[in-house]
Structure 1
Amino acid sequence: MHERAGTPAQPQDLIDVDALLGDYYDRVPDPANPDERVVFGTSGHRGSAADTAFNEAHIVATTAAIVEYRAAQGTDGPLFIGIDTHALSGPALETAIEVLAAAEVDVRVDARGGYTPTPALSRAILVANGAATATGLRTSGAGLADGIVVTPSHNPPRDGGFKYNPPHGGPADTDATSWIAARANEILSGGAWKHVKRIPYDRAKRSSAIRPYDYMAAYVAELPSVIDMDAIREGDVRIGADPLGGAAVEYWGAIAEEHRLNLTVVNPDVDPRWGFMALDWDGKIRMDCSSPFVMANVRALMEDGNAPYDIATGNDADADRHGIVTRDGGLMNPNHYLAAAIHYLHSGARPQWRDDARIGKTLVSSSLIDRVGARLGRTVEEVPVGFKWFVPGLMSGDVTFGGEESAGASFLTREGRVWTTDKDGIILCLLAAEMTGATGSTPSQIHSALVSDLGESWYTRLDATATKKEKDTLKKLSPSQVQATELAGQEITAKLTEAPGNGAPVGGLKVTTADAWFAARPSGTEDVYKIYAESFVSAEHLEQVADAARTVVADALGSAE
């Protein structure tokens, strides 16, 4: 834990934006260096221009690879593209536009010249492919749309990110990302990226291939199809929304105006250095709205006994994550909020949802969700980390709600149709207000009632630095490499490297007992590995589980040497 975690950023914490942008154009990656190649993690290629990991060459090569991939797949409709507020997002957009225009791809850019939250882009793809029509979503045939989101999500200000969303509107699966990354690295090799056809940006943006699309107007207008705005208005729920300097910054004001909500944008500032942020656990500026350190400013709004809001919210840089703060409970643990939201939505709030549809959760989300599902009489499907696993079910309506422990989720429209197939932090924040207005109880109070009936749990997530070799080793662990037979005094009942819900590899390890579990997996975006743990016994028992987890992981990594 950094000594200044949760305190305001200081001048020495801020990036030099001009130097970073210079690095974007000046540094040229060496494809022979693994750290400088295109690598798609759980959500796109990420890196910093200062590390020669996110530079003009990477974006030229990756965009060219996407052009080839979509052509091979027969995706010949519009390509929607949007950016977040990271400093590298703007130049990466310009580079991509130069390549796309030269390839005569039919591109849709933000009509306002602003920022585009990930859920707004996902929704645009789905609508273009028929999600809002009576005939339903098309996944094949001519004219299919897809998209690119230029964002590293919650990563620090020095980073950039580039993500491909195919016609289903959600994160691309490994069949697509592996091909795109491999082809991009081929284009990088030998300097071939310099010969990719491009049109200078000033001319490209005026070409017939690049056309405007009003992402914000379309998204904001459709929100009543997924959120009960009447419940928020009639309950006079007071909302304080902090976009944390991210892509949702203009969206919240538009939502308040169009839907006549008692909503205040508490921080309308955009700063690519994020100088107004509080430091995260490790002393870095990181827009993780589930972190109590990052959310220090939002929490402070509600800690006064005369808090001006009933609900305060935060989003990360591309608004695919949510942070919920209540007057009575403070910043909610993401798992607590997921459990409360799932209970509310399936307890009469969405009567048109199918009774046989499943609830989706990642295997590192709280087991309280399993207990809520059992109480509701619904199947809970446990999948590996990564929102892509929820995409098929959300598209078909077979999954009503898909949620991740890292404060990312989406759910169906009120009629039971697909809303987004990528995470939507905006609707999860609005849902907290709907829950408060419809029930008279905050999400914290709803969670407390669940705990009284189903048992209290204690949950934690710990991050530890890791080398790439250690991350690769952890990703490939087998149950036989875990020699322990008990965990924090309880017999181990399962050692999982495949998810129970779909049998897919978890990219790590999960160990369970009767009253506790832990999971360990490498980060797909940073040089750390994560340990998740939960206990239904006590806070002290959770500490024992976490300590035992560290030992089990260390022994397993050691045995693999």
Structure 2
Amino acid sequence: MSRAGTVAQPSDLIDVAALERAYVELVPDVSNPDQQVAFGTSGHRGSAFDTAFNETHILAITQAIVEYRAAQGITGPLYIGRDTHALSLPAERSALEVLVANGVRVVADSRGSVTPTPAVSRAILAYNAAGNADQADGIVVTPSHNPPRDGGFKYNPPHGGPADSDATGWIADRANALIAAGLEGVQRTEVLGGSDERVELVDFRADYVEALGSVIDFEAIKAAGLHIGADPLGGAAVDYYAAIAERYGIDLTTTNPEVDPTWAFMTLDWDEKIRMDCSSRDAMASVLARKDEFDILTGNDADADRHGIVTPDGGLMNPNHFLAVAIEYLFTHRPGWRQDAAIGKTLVSSSMIDRVAESLGRRLWEVPVGFKWFVPGLVDGSVGFGGEESAGASFLRADGTVWTTDKDGILLCLLASEIRAVTGKTPTQLYAELTERFGAPVYERVDAPASREQKARLGRLTGDAVTATELAGDPIVAKLVEAPGNGARLGGLKVVTDRAWFAARPSGTEDVYKIYAESFVGVDHLRQVQAEAKAIVDAALAG
């Protein structure tokens, strides 16, 4: 019997001391691909137990970032933040040792505490908008929602969002070369934590909370008298919500303020692992148990760049459903935005968004997976909202200027309360109204086995590799290997009909490829789409 959705047992918990020892003692062999520095869509991730995220990695990556920013002429402050994973504090310390030794002007949290990803993004953008002669960038130490045994490390250049593949590719190559050379060329010095005069300090929380009033209508939330709950799931948002409640005078309760690097209070995810995935019903089981206590209840992952929205009448919303509701609401309640501001979505997000965009008369901007693709549009205001099916999104300030260029889970959680306050309806009710207008799509992601070679081939496919002309009984109207919005390669394939679609992408961490599929006909039709999708992809890989 599956234990998914049940509280973690002692046998599920990591040995934090052993993990920290492994971080220092195990040295990677970069001739082994599994031990190399490799940046996915959200930085380098891995576990110290697997020799995939260790002190050697972080020292080398940080030195590579120092050299990269110097080559790019970036001479301003580097803002650094971390989440609550056990490896995040040791990795932050390692990074500081290299940054300080190289004479980088580094800025850390004045409270010596954790910092959500969006707070770092906002700090970078605020500095660069202030007319300074130099430019800031940043590092966030987080593996996002990954299990407690993992660590993560990502670089955000001056645009404030995730670095693009040109930057991360160079940084990874240089870091691996430094590791192969036994860290020769890495500068390092002892750093005395927050008391070290060479590390500047800023109150990330105070600055972020104060600026939130420019992007969320707190007066409407306060006037509606909503009773709001927020569960940080033991992550970096843990002491942000209380500050927000105090600053804006809203009735907002942090339902679980506990921080524990083993995450012993979590319920197990679908695969019986501890994972702080706020879009998973199993991981959010303890939050869902309290849904009737609040008008809106929300959750975040460990670095607060993802959101989970819980309503008393619908439970945990599918991320695609909330994105559609958020878009419909924002583009009818933000008169300060440009009239030509587009709606950004990733290629694996629901086509309900396409239909909402068409009804609003707004341009749809469809891009590959990865929030980095939304950055240019958010910076110049040409994209009002950018969202991913994995429950990550951000949008513009009320005046149409940039808020963050990385995902902001806190923002989207607060938006759910604004929507409830202004419309008098829950986001669940509003999504039901969208389905009455546009149909009720059925969406699912499944995995199929694939070798490393097959995954590489999938990432290089062309539309000509698909010989099928129909999908689940309907004519195929598009075979995409490039994103319609910006022409960037998808790293996979998307096949579209008028009533359904599927997309296939190689996994960056497992020997599988992911099939995302959606049907506006029903579950049986979706199953047919999924079966034919696998046959189409397997044939293309064999061809």
State if a TM-score over 0.5 links the two structures: yes
Shift of 1:455: 1.5
1:432 alignment partner, one of 374, 392, 416:
416
In the aligned structure 2, how far is the partner of 1:331 from the partner of 1:554?
A: 34
Query: What secondary structure, in the 3-state scheme, does the structure 2 residue paired with 1:201 have?
Result: coil
Please name the residue that 1:461 is paired with: 445
Give RMSD over aligned pairs. 1.5
Tell whether 2:290 aligns with 1:301. yes
> Could you say if the C-alpha distance between residues 264 and 151 of structure 1 is closer, same or farther in structure 2, counting changes exceeding 3 Å?
same
Which amino acid in the other structure matches residue 218 of structure 1? D
In the aligned structure 1, how far is the partner of 2:408 from the partner of 2:363?
A: 23
Tell whether 2:205 aligns with 1:220. no
Tell whether 2:16 aligns with 1:17. yes
In the aligned structure 1, how far is the partner of 2:325 from the partner of 2:143?
A: 28
1:167 alignment partner, one of 158, 164, 169:
158
Please name the residue that 2:87 is paired with: 88
Please name the residue that 1:106 is paired with: 105
Residue by residue over 1:164-212, the C-alpha shift from the partner in whole angstroms, topping out at 9 and shown as x without a partner, is: 0000000001111111111111111131x1552211133x754433111
Please name the residue that 2:189 is paired with: 199
Tell whether 2:267 aligns with 1:284. no
Please name the residue that 1:179 is paired with: 170
Which amino acid in the other structure matches residue 187 of structure 1? L
Which amino acid in the other structure matches residue 307 of structure 2? H
2:354 alignment partner, one of 353, 365, 370:
370
Tell whether 2:541 aligns with 1:552. no
Please name the residue that 2:382 is paired with: 398
Contact 1:382–1:499 under 8 Å retained in 2: yes
Contact 1:475–1:522 under 8 Å retained in 2: yes
2:345 alignment partner, one of 361, 379, 399:
361
Please name the residue that 1:336 is paired with: 321
Task: Tell me whether 221-230 or 2-11 shows the greater mean CA deviation.
Answer: 2-11
Residue by residue over 1:55-76, the C-alpha shift from the partner in whole angstroms, topping out at 9 and shown as x without a partner, is: 1110010000000111111111
Please name the residue that 2:257 is paired with: 268
1:325 alignment partner, one of 310, 318, 325:
310
> Could you say if the C-alpha distance between residues 233 and 55 of structure 1 is closer, same or farther in structure 2, counting changes exceeding 3 Å?
same
Contact 1:42–1:524 under 8 Å retained in 2: no
Shift of 1:466: 4.7
**Structure 2: gaps (5+ residues):** none
Shift of 1:294: 1.1
Contact 2:117–2:140 under 8 Å retained in 1: yes
In the aligned structure 1, how far is the partner of 2:352 from the partner of 2:51?
A: 43
Which amino acid in the other structure matches residue 156 of structure 2? N
Contact 1:61–1:185 under 8 Å retained in 2: yes
Contact 1:101–1:207 under 8 Å retained in 2: no
Please name the residue that 1:154 is paired with: 145
Tell whether 2:367 aligns with 1:383. yes
Query: What secondary structure, in the 3-state scheme, does the structure 2 residue paired with 1:47 have?
Result: strand
In the aligned structure 2, how far is the partner of 1:127 from the partner of 1:286?
A: 32
Residue by residue over 1:3-47, the C-alpha shift from the partner in whole angstroms, topping out at 9 and shown as x without a partner, is: 222222122211111111111111101121111111111111111
Residue by residue over 1:348-374, the C-alpha shift from the partner in whole angstroms, topping out at 9 and shown as x without a partner, is: x11111111111111111111111111
In the aligned structure 2, how far is the partner of 1:242 from the partner of 1:527?
A: 33
Contact 2:110–2:194 under 8 Å retained in 1: no
Query: What secondary structure, in the 3-state scheme, does the structure 1 residue paired with 2:282 have?
Result: coil
Query: What secondary structure, in the 3-state scheme, does the structure 2 residue paired with 1:249 have?
Result: coil
Please name the residue that 1:230 is paired with: 219
Residue by residue over 1:189-240, the C-alpha shift from the partner in whole angstroms, topping out at 9 and shown as x without a partner, is: 131x1552211133x7544331111000000111110000011111111111
**Structure 1: gaps (5+ residues):** none
Residue by residue over 1:243-279, the C-alpha shift from the partner in whole angstroms, topping out at 9 and shown as x without a partner, is: 0111101111111111111111111111111111111
Please name the residue that 1:125 is paired with: 124
In the aligned structure 1, how far is the partner of 2:17 from the partner of 2:452?
A: 30
Please name the residue that 2:404 is paired with: 420
Please name the residue that 1:78 is paired with: 77
Residue by residue over 1:112-158, the C-alpha shift from the partner in whole angstroms, topping out at 9 and shown as x without a partner, is: 1110000000000000101xx5xxxx7xx842000000001111111
> Could you say if the C-alpha distance between residues 166 and 525 of structure 1 is closer, same or farther in structure 2, counting changes exceeding 3 Å?
farther
In the aligned structure 1, how far is the partner of 2:455 from the partner of 2:19?
A: 27
In the aligned structure 2, how far is the partner of 1:240 from the partner of 1:285?
A: 22
Shift of 1:522: 2.1
Tell whether 2:505 aligns with 1:515. no
Contact 1:77–1:143 under 8 Å retained in 2: yes
Shift of 1:528: 4.3
Query: What secondary structure, in the 3-state scheme, does the structure 1 residue paired with 2:491 have?
Result: strand
Q: How many pairs does the alignment contain?
A: 543
Contact 2:112–2:194 under 8 Å retained in 1: no
Which amino acid in the other structure matches residue 256 of structure 1? A
Contact 2:121–2:161 under 8 Å retained in 1: yes
Please name the residue that 1:502 is paired with: 486
Residue by residue over 1:419-439, the C-alpha shift from the partner in whole angstroms, topping out at 9 and shown as x without a partner, is: 000000001000000000011
Which amino acid in the other structure matches residue 122 of structure 2? R
Which amino acid in the other structure matches residue 370 of structure 1? D
Please name the residue that 1:315 is paired with: 300
Contact 1:75–1:142 under 8 Å retained in 2: no
Tell whether 2:180 aligns with 1:189. yes
Please name the residue that 1:30 is paired with: 29
Contact 1:237–1:437 under 8 Å retained in 2: yes
Which amino acid in the other structure matches residue 153 of structure 2? F
In the aligned structure 1, how far is the partner of 2:384 from the partner of 2:175?
A: 36
> Could you say if the C-alpha distance between residues 472 and 322 of structure 1 is closer, same or farther in structure 2, counting changes exceeding 3 Å?
same
Contact 1:146–1:165 under 8 Å retained in 2: yes
In the aligned structure 2, how far is the partner of 1:369 from the partner of 1:21?
A: 44
Contact 1:116–1:247 under 8 Å retained in 2: yes
Task: Tell me whether 469-478 or 249-258 shows the greater mean CA deviation.
Answer: 469-478
In the aligned structure 1, how far is the partner of 2:405 from the partner of 2:507?
A: 22
Shift of 1:462: 2.1
